[in-house]
Structure 1
Amino acid sequence: MSRAATVLRGLVLGLGALVFLFPFYYMVMGSLQTAPDQSVAGAFPHPGNLTGANYVAIDSRISLVRGLVNSGIFTGGVVLCTVVFAVLVGYALAVLQWRGRGVTFALALLVQVVPFQLLIIPLYVLIARNYGLADNYLGMILPFAINSTAVIIFRQYFLQVPKELFEAARIDGAGEVGLLVRVALPLVRPALVTVVLLTFIGPWNEFLWPFLITKRADMQPLAVSLANYITNVAATAANPFGAAMAGAVVLAAPLVVLFIVFQRYFISTDLGSGVKG
């Protein structure tokens, strides 16, 4: 690649990065302003207009720590269930031979076209009324416990694992659980990290289902608490724009940190390197 092409590529990528990062920068700047400025000029506030009072103001009304804890429990439960079930089902669809495997995989693909919103009413009746799990962490987690997308991701990764590895392990006397834990999982770590990160985003930002299933303020995830604040409380706040931006920063920060820490794992490894020629 010529020097001019390299420079042009760097400029294009840099411009794209600035366009992508500007909303986050604007959100942080808005959360630190004493006097609200919702214009573009608000992205470059005077140093004397910066304060951390907006974080104190919103925390006094909705308890950011409690909201983060609820979001963490909800998201952690969903991620744990998703990983466990997706690994087991993906392994069964990719490695084990059993009748109906193709039909099961077709059903997993079919589920992708069914919007979650169509299932909300029957799910609410089942979980809140029949099971009595309203205002309960388990009631929030159950509808998201199995993710067909994660199943498909693990299935495709397990299909790439050389069959020679499984055959050699079986000859050595390893059972299916041992094959999964000691052979398959170490080779699909990129898939594991990808599923965790992609699964984390959904429940962390989920609003509709937690809003329906929880009525107690101390049980609501931060996304629901923040929405309630904007709807019911912000109008009476001294700086509603800054407080709302402060809540949005707290909500987005864990996701940003998670991606910064684990983004290097979004690369596939050479699975075939585990087999000697």
Structure 2
Amino acid sequence: MALYFNYNKKSKIICETISIIFLSVFAIFTLLPLYFMIVSSFGDPVEAGDATFTLFPRKFTLSSYFFFFNYSKYSYRWILNSLIVASIVTISNVIFASMAGYAFSKMKFPGRNRIFSILLFSMMVPYQVIQVPLYVLVVNTFQIPNTYLALVLPDLCTVYNIFLAKQFISTLPTAIIDSAKIDGCNQFQIFTKIILPLSKTVLSVMAILTFMGSWNSFLWPLLVTTSADMQTIQVGLTNFRFANTTYFAPMMAGATISALPMFILFFSLQKYFLQGVTIGAIKG
């Protein structure tokens, strides 16, 4: 019995050790690009095109950060544009997607299941497929290129966020809504005073994912912006690349600066994000 117990204990230790080694290696490879970006941002900006990898910076200097802001008068505008676009998209998705999720989960109306099925079907269509018709619609039909409206219009309310809100709100007890109706609450009061406070977790997850997706968006801002003053930070970084050379260190400095808002948002809402990840893992 003791031998069997020792054997199981040794097997458990070996399995845990292998798991720790595997996860450590996976974490290293995951964080390596981020580390490379930060280390490279402290390089000398005059070393154009130098993209050699080093574990430690050969020359620790902040010149590349100053170069990034002094290179173009629109450097601050790129960050501001990204902040405006990402904030509008995030707020609109949190509001409209939660309203749609509440309607699909707790309200009964004709064609509810069919409409929701159509929305789910649209998620199967790759985003790149609709780029051309969407571009023609925004530029030729609406004639609003190179504007904030053109940047935010396609992502004001995404199907994924509607699906996420609907799935979470469906888990809320219907008895709470029935009790509120008995007390005389209308649908708007039920949504604002009951549904939203109970949905803080999923709304926080939605806000983080939406902000990150909008902030990192590159293809659509590249298509609809025609002037440097309307470019977002991700598109603006391409201005450091030329036909014969690339200002690599300033580009990495700009990429590091562009990553800061996402880190701030994630760590400020980390508690709700982790709660959202574990939703449904524990019953009761």
Which TM class, normalised by the smaller chain length? 0.7 to 0.9
Give the drift of 1:96. Answer: 0.2
Partner of 1:263: 270
Equivalent of 2:67 in 51, 57, 73: 57
Match of 2:43 among 33, 37, 46: 33
Q: Which runs of 5+ in 1 are unaligned?
A: 272-277
Equivalent residue for 1:43? 55
CA contact (8 A) 1:71 1:204 kept: yes
Report if the CA contact (8 A) 2:43-2:249 is conserved.
yes
Residue 20 of structure 1 corresponds to 30
Shift of 1:183: 0.9
Which residue matches 2:176?
165
Contact kept in structure 2, 1:30 and 1:43, CA below 8 Å: no
Does 2:181 align with 1:174?
no
Q: How many angstroms apart in 1 are the aligned matches of 2:38 and 2:188?
A: 47
Question: Could you tell me whether the CA contact under 8 Å between 2:42 and 2:57 is conserved in 1?
Answer: no
Identity, in percent, stands at 31
Q: State the shift of 1:115 in Å.
A: 1.8
Distance 1:9 1:259 in 2: 26
Partner of 1:98: 109
- Classify 1:127/1:173 alpha carbon distance in 2 versus 1 (closer, same or farther; 3 Å): same
RMSD of equivalent CA atoms: 2.4
Alignment of 1:50-129 (within 5 A): 50-62=60-72, 63-129=74-140
TM-score scaled to structure 2, two decimals? 0.85
Change (3 A) 1:4 1:115: closer
How many residue pairs match? The answer is 265
SS, match of residue 146 in structure 2 = coil
| Structure 2 residue aligned with 1:246 | 253
Indicate how the Cα distance of structure 1 residues 10 and 100 shifts in structure 2: closer, same or farther if over 3 A, else same.
same
Please identify, of 159-168 and 124-133, the stretch whose mean Cα deviation from structure 2 is larger: 124-133
Q: Secondary structure at the match of 2:34?
A: helix
Q: Tell me, in whole angstroms, the C-alpha distance in 1 between the residues paired with 2:140 and 2:23.
A: 52
Match of 2:6 in 1: none
Partner in structure 2 of residue 144 of structure 1 = 155
Give the Å deviation of 1:260: 2.3
> TM (normalized to structure 1)?
0.87
Give the unaligned 5+ runs of structure 2.
1-8
Q: Tell me the equivalent position of 2:3.
A: none
Distance in 1, matches of 2:79 and 2:115, equals 37
Q: Distance in 2 between matches of 1:69 and 1:225?
A: 12
Q: C-alpha deviations, 1:67-106, integer Å up to 9, x for none?
A: 1100011111111221222111111000001110100110
Distance 1:175 1:270, change over 3 A: farther
